[in-house]
Chains A and B, each alone.
Chain A
């Protein structure tokens, strides 16, 4: 891919939320809203997962789109005029102006992120669920709806801030990006969904043990925790393997 002569790309930096009051406020309200939405829908999802999960996708998408447009800087590469990382205090005012002033403009990359998450990432997530042991011959709707929820939770914000830059996405998969609330949310969602499989085999005979309720529950809880931890506690750190 790379040919000699091209300068090495600058290392990725953690993403700061937009320097507006709305962003600073909404970034904390957002996980609470998401969890409330899920708590509200929980009984319906347990009762009949497929239609309930499908319907819940709409408010989930709306909340995520609201979150990214209000709080996050859109990708530099997607044609938007907003710089990915507002640097100096001098620039901050203008950046804030752009951020607040062009909310309608930012809807477009947000919608594109949603479409990418739904149609590119959801199938991959669904296949991953099957590889982890989800039913391979039945329950397709269940599995892929769970995958859609995971994709919108974990990856919609990432698509919004990173765009479709291949090298950045290699860093996403390799967990090489510095931790921030977007990366934290992604890792949290995936770990939460992973841990959500734990109660499934137990012989408690509870309705909520049915596929894929626990996975989706784990994903929502994991997203909220991961976003919080990534944004506040571990911000700027690197994930080390060795």
Chain B
């Protein structure tokens, strides 16, 4: 094999020259290599390796900046709370009970004697406090609004019968959305973004709560109204008495309300009261009237008047042993919306009523309900401990609220003993919870020091009280105050930990992401010529800037103790880094050009990327992202078809049209694979699985992977053959290894279905074991065999020697014909696509690995993706677009599109956790998370791997600045994801109190951030390293320029 090398050398050199000079050049090249030439070649290799290493360093640096920005934002935004699985139990009170009461049973009261047998708990959604109290003019011109004085029943009863009723402002913890509020009202704890518990994806409440306690005590619970309850408490309610209604149709003011009223009064009838213990009713009309008309509208008046009549009637029908609780879960703002943290949104009303006459006030002045919600408010979480103790239930384990004074102080308003007892119970439970939480989370005692000292003080006052023979009311009162001081302190500590956004961190995180985006944009689109020449200067200055920033950050962080150290250091480092890049760009300013697009391609790319990003500020556009991507991809396809029609060369034109139309049609075919998210209903039909309610494939879908295995290798082969590059390793790899891998993968999915459906009873274990082995074989083919092939393969070339007569006829681009003199000539087959064809092997390897981890339908989608990618290469070539951002951008859109076509959505519930078990029996780190990433972001990974091929496809082997072109393409591809990430981050931060934050914006932000990091890692570790192997292999034959 020694001999042909010099002649290849000469041939390659000849290609670069004009035809007239060819012979001469060749002669020079055909001479034995001189030492000078060898040395020059070695130098070329060293230069390449250095330039490549710096590119790796540069992109790693961008990755680091993105990690810092995302981390800083996330740490201020995604506040997490650990959900403890502990449940309170009737027999185990949090503290030793006093002599006055022994541990009881649910019949008598668990920790404290119970007051009521039964309860009717009604939520009037969005019942704001000022709706319930009489209007008091603030000035002469102040007139009552439509929402004033329309529901006076609560105020009247509280004033006229203070022992039967009380009315208080009821303050919600934001976010003021019904789902989050119901969690708070039943668990007694504060909402956070991620309640990191055992069930990550579901909506059902897992932690201890009032409903679960009632149910485990054998109480029969009925629910009427808003169906959100059923998502939170599936299967908790008496099925034959319960009536749930759709909660999302805000235009309908009456269906839910009439339904609740229609069913609740029969239950209250004496003949039916034995059928249930607790009724939860949820009226939505007030909320819907607010959403639809706003509070200041006659519709609100009539709605409130209707509610007023309902509760007057309920008072009449109520029996003596039943407690009636009516409350708003949140308020509404001036437009009637809610979700945020403004006063109007958090100020709801709470009214309790019973015929027993046991409520009291600590002072006569407190009989009249407060005029505004600023006076004597109670927290919504206080309801949990209050209701638990009144009904004789244990207080839920995670509760942080305190019993409401009016319910326990007795009708004379002097029973401080009772008040101290119930507060001691609630507070001890809080203390127990805090202790367990601190242990589980590893919190240090410092953070709790002030609350712990309050706990010690409360214990002291209790001990002295127990020692006294007959404690005075004052002593009881002191103990009560001491316990509630601890409760209030703990609550404020928890609120700071869980419920507050750290806006400074969020803003600084966004700033870092924005600065990095600017750096990336200038690097990708604002530099003239070869990027590898400039990267050393840029990187050096960035390093210096980073070091200075780090020093400044450390100095400030340690020097100014009031600043949080970690935050300061991260921010200063990142800003220093960006400043370093800025100084680097200044240094190379002669090479800078405006990054503003200069062609229709640039403008379309910018417009569509920005349109998509801006759309993420709207929940509708975020929900329908899959359809928008289809629209945009087809737009690109149509533009590419139009551009093909413009080509002067008839072959370019025909090929370009064919591949553009193919691209469009394949996009539309792929779009038929859908997994709808809940919000897309009823306008979307899932096709990804056998039916909308299953996560297994239909039988006919099992044929898709086989179809892919039989067709995809042939299709891809044709893209190699068009340049006669189907040579050497490609034949073995594509025709044999790739196809075998696809076939085994198809077999895997059939066996998986057999296993799931139990087609062969008794052979389940065998099926399980063998399918795992099959999956491992596919991975071995794709990655082990694939990478060995890719690393060692020679470029896909072949030599043909022909007599001059026949060679004359085959003057094609794909061949390099060199006259040898005499009667024969040498032809190099596959010369036209040396770089691209060889690099494309890497894409097929990852195609195989990704197809394996997708469900059958997803395998089909990824197969289409592979075909589309190769079509795109041809379009780029025939339309001469490798300089434009089209290739990397379309790959970005394509990757995002096929993310949806492989059965995913930007929601936590669409993560296919089971893909971790495709080649493994148990969870193994780091493989299981990597498999889930490969499944979830497989499409984006393949597209990122394909990016270098956009600029390598059909380029001459020794083209100048090819590596710089690769850097430019990768940077442009990353730019697409960086823009999306910055936009989704900003929107999530800006809309942090939005109604749809948890459902829509937060998952999209998380998906955007993870995709960006995954694509960057893939770009560095797979694409850039693949390019290195490729260049080294090509240079083996053609030498370094």
* CB-contact partner of A201 in B601, B620, B667, B672, under 8 A: B620
**A133: nearest chain-B partner, CB-CB:** B630
Contact B646 A241 (CB under 8 A): yes
Which residues from chain A contact B668 at a C-beta distance below 8 Å? 130-131, 133, 136
Q: Are B251 and A205 in contact, CB atoms less than 8 angstroms apart?
A: yes
Specify the chain A residue showing the minimal Cβ separation from B598: A242
Q: Smallest Cβ distance from A117 to chain B, in angstroms? A: 20
Q: Name the B residues within 8 Å of A201 (CB-CB).
A: 620-621, 623-624, 627-628
Considering the complex, give the chain A residue whose CB is closest to the CB of B249. A205
Cα A45 to Cα B645 in complex, Å, equals 36
**B602 CB to nearest chain A CB (Å):** 10
A174 and B634 in contact, given A201-B620, A242-B599 (Cβ under 8 angstroms): no
Q: Are A170 and B645 in contact (CB under 8 A)?
A: yes
User: In the complex, what distance in Å separates the CA atom of A93 from the CA atom of B643?
Assistant: 40
B642 is an interface residue with CB less than 8 A from chain A: yes
Shortest CB distance B250–A (Å)? 9
Q: Which residues of B contact A242 (CB under 8 A)?
A: 599-601, 884
The 4 closest A-B pairs by CB, nearest first: A174-B645, A201-B624, A174-B646, A173-B645
A-B contact count (CB 8 A): 58
B664 at the interface (CB under 8 A from A): yes
Which residue of chain A lies nearest to B996 when distances are taken between CB atoms in the complex? A203
B631 lies within 8 A of A132 (CB): yes
Query: Are the CB atoms of A133 and B671 closer together than 8 Å?
Result: yes
Chain A CB within 8 A of B37 CB: no
Query: Can you name the residue of chain A whose Cβ is closest to the Cβ of B661?
Result: A131
Interface pairs (29), CB distance under 8 Å: A131-B634, A131-B667, A132-B630, A132-B635, A133-B627, A133-B631, A133-B668, A136-B668, A136-B672, A173-B642, A173-B645, A174-B642, A174-B643, A174-B644, A174-B645, A175-B646, A197-B631, A201-B620, A201-B621, A201-B623, A201-B624, A201-B627, A202-B618, A202-B620, A203-B620, A241-B600, A242-B599, A242-B601, A242-B884
Task: Indicate the member of A131, A194, A240 with the most B CB atoms within 10 Å.
Answer: A131
Nearest CB on B from A31, distance (A): 25
A176 within 8 A of B: yes
B-side contacts of A241, CB under 8 Å: 599-601, 642-643, 646
Q: How far is the CA of A170 from the CA of B671 in the complex (A)?
A: 29
Give the docked Cα–Cα distance between A173 and B661 (Å): 13
Residues of B within 8 A of A (CB): 251, 599-601, 618-621, 623-624, 627-628, 630-631, 634-635, 638, 641-646, 664-665, 667-668, 671-672, 884
Task: Give 13 A-B pairs besides A136-B668, A174-B643, A241-B642 with Cβ atoms closer than 8 angstroms.
Answer: A131-B634, A132-B630, A132-B631, A132-B635, A133-B631, A174-B646, A175-B646, A197-B631, A203-B620, A240-B599, A241-B600, A242-B600, A242-B884
Number of interface residues of A (CB under 8 A): 20
How distant is the Cα of A174 from the Cα of B642 in the complex, in angstroms? 5
Which A residues from 53 to 73 make CB contacts under 8 A with B?
none
Contacts of B635 in A (CB 8 A): 132, 194
CB nearest to A135 among chain B residues: B683
In Å, the complex CA distance between A20 and B623 comes to 54
B630: chain A residues at CB < 8 Å are 132-133
Q: Of all chain B residues, which has the CB nearest A199?
A: B620
Contacts of B624 in A (CB 8 A): 201
CB distance from B755 to the nearest CB of A (A): 33
Q: Which residues of A have CB within 8 Å of B621?
A: 201-202
Interface string of A106-144 (1 = CB under 8 A from B): 000000000000000000000010111100100000000
Closest beta carbon of chain B to A211's beta carbon, Å: 10
Give the residues in chain B near A194, CB-CB below 8 Å: 635
B315 → chain A closest CB, angstroms: 38
Q: Residue on A with the closest CB to B626?
A: A133
Given the complex of chains A and B, what is the CA–CA distance between A132 and B643 in angstroms?
18
With A and B bound together, what is the CA distance between A156 and B599 in angstroms? 30
Complex alpha-carbon distance, A175 and B644, angstroms: 11
Within 8 A of B (CB), among A169-206: 170, 173-176, 194, 197, 201-203, 205
Nearest-neighbor residue (CB-CB) of A240 within chain B: B600
Give the docked Cα–Cα distance between A203 and B999 (Å): 15
* Nearest CB of chain B from residue A237's CB, rounded to whole Å: 13
Select from chain A the residue with minimum beta-carbon distance to B625.
A201
Write out the residue numbers on chain B whose beta carbons fall within 8 Å of the beta carbon of A174.
642-646
